Amino acid sequence: MAKVYYDDDADLSALAGQRVAVIGYGSQGHAHALNLQDSGVDVVVGLYKGSKSWEAAEQEDLRVETVENAVELGNLVMMLVPDQTQKRLYDEVVKPNLKPGSALMFAHGWGGYRVKPDLSNLKEIMDACYETTGQSTVIDVPVDADQVIGLNPRLNNLTTKTYL
């Protein structure tokens, strides 16, 4: 039987004094930013100049910055942009502005595939995703392994957190 977690089960002390940079303000970015803000976490939303989401985020009393600035300000950077955008955005904007010691989080669907803990099947999964959708994302992240967190919210039979 699945364990259900409630607000009282969360220990937000790990985020005390930290700032979370939410990159993107679509369905996932919007939800994560508002839930974190409602929980008392210091949040900054990173968007490109001219984004139609900029005003929407500000109307929710969220701090909004360019992606570059948000990454520089964040201790935990959450990449919540579409898969086909992530690699370019990471390579061109996030990677050059990521502070040493920051944590980096990705959210993906990966079309319902199960990633092995040692990542030995990652290429197979990315190839299969490309065949079915025409898109796959592989990002070379130059940080310590325990600083990269992947959330796979749409996968079946997978724990919520997969540490890459």
Active-site residue set: 108
Report d(CA 162, CA 160) in Å as an integer: 7
Instruction: Find the radius of gyration of the CA atoms of the chain.
Output: 16
Cβ atoms of 111 and 128 closer than 8 Å = yes
Q: Find where tokens 């690699």 sit.
A: 87
**3-state secondary structure (DSSP) of residue 43:** strand
The CB density around residue 162, as the number of other CB atoms within 10 Å, is 20
* Helix locations, the chain, DSSP H: 27-38, 53-59, 67-73, 83-89, 95-97, 122-133
Q: What angle do CA 52, 102, 24 make, to 5 degrees?
A: 15
Question: 3-class DSSP state for residue 22?
Answer: strand
